[in-house]
Amino acid sequence: MSLSLRLDNVDIKDIDTTGAENTAEILQRAIDTDTVPRDSLTRERYGFSKCKDMDGEIHLGGPYAGLLFPVYLGVTRKAAP
């Protein structure tokens, strides 16, 4: 399934949720494509459904991107001494 949103003549990229096993994967795909998730369960679990407008949703995506991007940068957790 592919989801899309059109808001005020601005196209938001489709997020392909086919094969996603859980809402975390759907959130990651949204972050990967610089979009906000459209899946209702993902939106509810990660707080996007509580935002009043698209600006709020975009701002909420920022912290999630910050949490996910260290993985792409090769940042790993140090083992406890």
Output the six-digit token pair for 81: 């001494």
- For residue 4, what pLDDT is reported? 45
Is 80 domain-assigned?
no
- Where does residue 80 rank: exposed (0-12), middle (13-18), buried (19+ CB within 10 A)? exposed
Per-residue tens of pLDDT for the chain, all 81 residues: 444 444 444 444 455 556 667 888 889 888 888 889 988 999 999 999 999 999 999 999 988 888 876 655 555 555 556
Output the six-digit token pair for 49: 């459904």
- Classify the phi-psi angles of 74: left when phi > 0, otherwise alpha if psi is within -120 to 50, otherwise beta: left
Identify the domain containing residue 32 by its residue range. Answer: 2-72
Is 55 domain-assigned?
yes
Is 13 domain-assigned?
yes
Is 78 domain-assigned?
no
Is 57 domain-assigned?
yes
Is 12 domain-assigned?
yes
- For residue 35, what pLDDT is reported? 87
Is 65 domain-assigned?
yes
- For residue 71, what pLDDT is reported? 56
- For residue 44, what pLDDT is reported? 94
* 43, 50 contact by CB (below 8 A): no
Is 58 domain-assigned?
yes
Domain total for the chain?
1
